Structure 1
Amino acid sequence: MAKLLGGVGTSHVPSIGAAVDHGKTQEPYWKPVFDGMQAAKKWIAQARPDVCVVVYNDHASCFALDLTPTFALGVGSEFQPHDEGYGPRPVPVVKGDPDFGWHLAESLILDEFDITIVSDMTVDHGLTVPLSVMFGQPDEWPCKVIPLCVNVVQYPQPTGNRCFNLGKAIRRAIESYDADIKVAIFGTGGLSHQLQGERAGVINAEYDNRWLDRFVAEPAELARIGHTELLRETGSEGIECIMWLIMRGALDEHVKVVHRFYHVPASNTAYGLLVLENK
């Protein structure tokens, strides 16, 4: 039976990927950010998952306003990095796991979650930056990846509670898979930031850290927070944090905090990183 090892929550700031790609991780601005990632890298190197389910959002790369699935699951054998306007990131091709991907799709749909099944898709920084955060710059990614793309861009977005319950369904799907594999799940995006408009550059460190406290201790209550509060307190892009709730829903009610890191600023974003294990 497949085993869920734990969960990772991380922001997917595109400039973090650029710092990795251009060898700037030890420059004074970026060094504190990348130093704060080291304990998470150590954890995943020791855990050695066979597959990572990476929950992320597309930034009008593969999906745009002409096709906006609420939840899209990648079941292909590989996923190319998307050209986001300055060429694809110089990172390895993301290798999928079609057998496990189709199992997840079947289990989730029969569990009454309407998942869009995608065989051919590109992945942008929303997915590749978290891989760089956890694995650095390998010649190939050390695990297979199941992309789970969530719409947090186009209204109406799914509720935090819907995301939390999807995580629970993913846990059931993992534990019903009869192959002996180790799985980790990533929730990505956020934390507080806004990229446009009068509030561009907003960062709410107090709210972010209170949200992280509740994310660990009382996730079911946290999942009931509405979009209006998130937009008001964390900015228009801060709503990405609902994707972390998919990761949290897949874990036990009570979890062990392996690593927690928060840093401001990373570009114009509040960077958060959390590694959790079931107790």
Structure 2
Amino acid sequence: MARITHGLSTSHIPAIGAMVDQGRTDEPYWQPIFEGYQWTKDYVAQEKPDVVILVYNDHASAFDMKFIPTFAIGCSDEFRPADEGWGPRPVPPVPGHPDLAWHIAQSCILDEFDITIINEMEVDHGLTVPMDVFFDSKDNKTPAQWPVKVVPVAVNVVTYPPPSGNRCWMLGEAIARAVESYPEDLNVHIWGTGGMSHQLQGPRAGLINKEWDQRFLDLMTSDPQKLRTIEHIEYLRETGSEGIEMVMWLIMRGALQGKVTELHRHYHVPCSNTALGHIVLKNEVAETVVA
């Protein structure tokens, strides 16, 4: 059967993608940011996942105010980079896994999650930046083609109301049940993206809350159930207007179903005007099943 072996999370700061595209990753400002991902790049290359379920949010590229799904799943063979105002990023199209995606959609819908099925969708930096920081060559160049198939799961964290952390956790659990019932033997990763603390506008623009971010990272392993109860107003107050993106990390954590081992952590400020956070978790439940 398919199994979710690891959960990864990372910020998806658009400036990271711009630095990759412009070949500026070795500049003094950016070097420590990219160095913090090198361990994970090496580990992912060693683990060779067959599929990544990538949880991200669209930034008015595929969706706009006419159509705002709370949860959506991409079921296409391929997802092309979106034009975010200055032309599509020079990265290869992202290959999909439509069979697994449709299976997850069916399983989640029958599991009483009303997830929107998308058969044609472009993807923006919310998805391509995580691909950059986890899959590239030693010199931080985008590969000619991505070495993994991707099932995109888009979450609305742009327009109120976003889903609660608890609902995101429960979707993660439903995705895990779907993957476990898929008959093909696949090594599956699930990645939660977005955050950490940041605000891009208004009087609090540039807000970064290191203490809150570090506590969130700690709880991912020490007491993840506490993360389910964080209310929207706390994210807004403590982490800025864009910190709500961290509910997407809870989809990843809910899909790991129990005991995890933290393998790597990277936290850096500032990255652009944002706190950058990243963590790698090994799913001990999956390890037990495989053994």
Bin the TM-score by the shorter chain: over 0.9
What is aligned with 1:203?
208
In the alignment, what sits opposite 1:216?
A: 221
**Counterpart position of 2:279:** 274
Q: Which residue of 2 aligns with 1:238?
A: 243
CA contact (8 A) 2:8 2:192 kept: yes
TM-score (norm 2): 0.95
- Check whether the contact 2:173–2:257 (CA below 8 A) recurs between aligned residues: no
SS in 2 for 1:271: strand
- Residue 135 of structure 2 corresponds to residue 135 of structure 1: yes
Aligned counterpart, 1:2:
2
Distance 2:223 2:233 in 1: 20
Match of 1:168 in 2: 173
SS in 1 for 2:145: coil
Q: Show the counterpart of 1:115.
A: 115
In 1, the alpha carbon distance for the partners of 2:89 and 2:99 equals 27
Q: 1:158 aligns with which of 155, 163, 167?
A: 163
Task: Calculate the TM-score normalised by the size of structure 1.
Answer: 0.99
Q: State the distance in 1 between where 2:80 and 2:248 align.
A: 22
Give me the whole-angstrom Cα distance separating, in 2, the residues matched to 1:3 and 1:245. 18
Q: Please report how far the alpha carbon of residue 217 of structure 1 lies from its aligned counterpart in structure 2 after TM superposition.
A: 1.6
1:109-129 Cα offsets, whole Å, 9 max, x none, are 001000000000000000000
Matched length: 279
Contact 1:5-1:47 at 8 Å conserved across structures: no
Query: What pairs with 1:1-279 in structure 2 (closer than 5 Å)?
Result: 1-136=1-136, 137-279=142-284
Contact 2:75 2:117 in 1 (8 A): yes
Instruction: In structure 2, give the amino acid aligned to 1:180.
Output: D
Give the Cα–Cα distance (whole angstroms) in 1 for the partners of residues 168 and 44 of structure 2: 24
Identity of aligned residues (%): 61
Alpha-carbon displacement from aligned partner over 1:162-202 (angstroms, at most 9, x marks no partner): 00010011111110000111110000000000001110000
How far the C-alpha of 1:252 sits from its partner, in A, is 3.1
CA contact (8 A) 1:12 1:190 kept: yes
Q: Give the distance between the partners of 1:278 and 1:188, measured in 2 at CA.
A: 18
Deviation sequence 1:138-157 (CA, Å, 0-9, x none): 11000100000000011111
Rounded Cα–Cα distance in structure 1 between residues aligned with 2:176 and 2:46: 22
Residues in 2 aligned to 1:144 and 1:32: alpha-carbon distance in whole angstroms: 29
Contact 2:55 2:192 in 1 (8 A): yes
Alpha-carbon distance in structure 2 between the residues aligned to 1:155 and 1:56: 16
1:164/1:220 contact within 8 Å kept? no
Q: What are the Cα deviations for residues 208-239 of structure 1, in whole angstroms up to 9, with x where unaligned?
A: 00111112221122111000001000000011
Deviation at 1:253, TM superposition (A): 1.9
Residue type matched to 2:50 in 1? D
Question: CA separation in 2, counterparts of 1:122 and 1:204?
Answer: 32
Counterpart-to-counterpart distance in 2, 1:270 and 1:12: 11
Runs of at least 4 residues of structure 1 off by over 6 A? none
How many angstroms apart in 2 are the aligned matches of 1:98 and 1:278?
24
